[in-house]
Amino acid sequence: MNRPPRTVSARARILGAVLAVACAGLVVVGGITFWVQQDSVLRAVDGQLRTFATTVAAEPMPDRAAVVDVVRSIVPDRTDGTIAVADGEVIAAAPSATGLHLADDEEFVRVLAESSPAAVEYGTVRGDHGTLRYVAVPVDGAVIAHAVLLDARMELVVTGILTYTVTGLGMLLAIGVVGWFVIGRLLLPLRDLRATADAVTIGDFGARLPADGNDEISDLTRTVNSMLDRIEVSVDVQRQLLDDVRHELKTPITIVRGHLETMDVTDPVDVATTREIGMSELDRMTRLVDDIDLLAAVEDGALSMSMIDVDALTARVGELVAVIPGHTWSVESRGYGRVEGDYDRLLQAWLQLADNAAKYTPEGTPVEIGSSVDDAGAHLWVRDHGPGIPPASRHRIFRRFDRAEGRRTVGGSGLGLAIVDAIVKGHDGHCTVTETPGGGATFTIHIPPGRGRAPADLPAPVRAGDVVQQREASG
């Protein structure tokens, strides 16, 4: 089987989708985490700056000397710094052994000198040491500024994010490696399914898939196996039908050919006899094809369902069978009730059973018909008093072209009971054969009260056109 070139395999696409979702999840989680931690750091810094402003404002500083003393008394953290600026110059700075050297940050000093705030002012500036978050408190012509280096405060956050990123990449790599093998394992039944489908041919339906497990893939495997079973049965039925039709057609063709080869064209009697034989055999082939068409139509599930009065159906069958010659017909019982079904098809099936009884029983013997209705549905029966049907043959007489032993001399296509069986199965029913007390056979059609099955559950139909084409192809 030729397949188009494949750019990306299903395995790679599934793995790519999984990695994309995992990556998006890691990015979202990481972004939210970074934002929350950054906001927490900024809140802590702003709280520290507000506390500093409140503390400085409460200190008595009557002159600049007091301002210098207050600034020098502050012990900063390693990320903090405090300076006092007046007239554009730094007049005091907190000890900077562990803190920031804000006095050396020209950009920060310039911003403070230019702003000259009249009230407490908060701001952020990009200084020589990095990003500074500060508060400026005006005091006696000077400005006391306390600044926090945000870059240093954010070190733990940045380190955490970097660690998270490296760990996330490692997780993605692990997901990719593990996912590649896991997805390959999950897709293995599909590859087996493809290989099995490639192995199935019209001559070999024996390939099946191992159905292990209880997941969706296993359900698909079992469904495919069931489908292959149905196809195999259908193909076997088709083959058997073609073989049977070929066998049934050979006999009239051989008879006609033999008489034509031996016919004396100068003898009018011989010509007339040969013509009658030929027409008779052609009529038999016509009936065979008609019966195949009828069987196909029945098996196709084309049923017109309605509520049927069993009593009225019984009376109608009694009227129709009364004209069949050679037997005494009687209606022994009538069922009173209604079932759902196709009136015409059930009438056809019942009449077919009556016709079979007339063919296979001695002339002059009585044949009874009857019906009954109970909770299980309707029961339509035909009872004859002929030689009966051996128990060993009862299971196969409903097959196509199958007749009870010793009945090949009786006319017919061999499809009558097959048609009956198809009609009854189309109603979700069944047909049984029992022995008549005193000798003979009793055929009973059992129809449940509910609706018949869907067309999809019936055997695949066989078209007469297909049979003819197959016959022509095989010569």
pLDDT greater at residue 302 or residue 255 = 255
The pLDDT tens digits of the residues spanning 211-236 come to 676 777 777 778 888 887 877 777 77
This prediction's pTM = 0.49
The strand pair at 121-126 and 131-139 is best described as antiparallel
> Which residues make beta-bridge pairs with 381?
370, 444
The crossing angle, in degrees rounded to 10, of helices 310-321 and 343-360 is 40
Radius of gyration of the chain (CA): 50
Coil vs helix vs strand at 58? helix
Quick one: which H or E segment has residue 425? helix 416-426
Is residue 86 a contact partner of residue 143, using CB atoms and an 8 Å limit? yes
Q: Is the pLDDT of residue 77 over 90?
A: no
Q: Is the pLDDT of residue 388 over 90?
A: no
Could you tell me how many residues make up the chain? 475
Residue found under tokens 């016509």: 286
Is residue 404 a contact partner of residue 390, using CB atoms and an 8 Å limit? yes
CA nearest neighbour of 171 among 59, 30, 363, 295: 30
User: What's domain 200-300's architecture?
Assistant: Orthogonal Bundle (1.10)
The pLDDT tens digits of the residues spanning 81-95 come to 888 888 888 888 887
**Largest interatomic CA distance in the chain:** 157
Where are the strands (E) in 71-217, listed by range? 80-86, 89-93, 121-126, 131-139, 142-149
Alpha-carbon span 370 to 385, nearest angstrom: 15
Q: Is the pLDDT of residue 1 over 60?
A: no
> Which residues make beta-bridge pairs with 132?
125, 149
Which 8-state DSSP code applies to residue 213? S
Is residue 365 a contact partner of residue 386, using CB atoms and an 8 Å limit? yes
Q: Is the pLDDT of residue 239 over 50?
A: yes
Percentage of the chain lying above the pLDDT 70 cut: 84
**60-150: CATH number:** 3.40.1840.10
Percentage of the chain lying above the pLDDT 90 cut: 25
Q: Which residues contact 468 (CB under 8 A, 6 or more apart)?
A: 289
Mean pLDDT of the chain: 81
Residue 107 pLDDT class (50, 70, 90 cuts): confident
Is residue 393 a contact partner of residue 404, using CB atoms and an 8 Å limit? yes
Alpha-carbon span 251 to 247, nearest angstrom: 7
Alpha-carbon span 22 to 89, nearest angstrom: 55
Q: Which residues contact 419 (CB under 8 A, 6 or more apart)?
A: 291, 294, 295, 298, 348, 349, 352
For the chain, what percentages of helix, strand and coil (3-state, to nearest 5) are there?
55, 15, 30
- Domain 304-457 indexed as CATH 3.40.47.10: no
Q: Which residues contact 235 (CB under 8 A, 6 or more apart)?
A: 202, 205
Alpha-carbon torsion (70, 72, 74, 79), positive or negative: positive
- With 0-12 CB in 10 A as exposed, 13-18 as middle and 19+ as buried, what is 200? middle
Where are the strands (E) in 4-101, listed by range? 80-86, 89-93
Residue 223: Cβ within 10 Å count:
12
The pLDDT tens digits of the residues spanning 15-44 come to 999 999 999 999 999 999 999 998 999 999
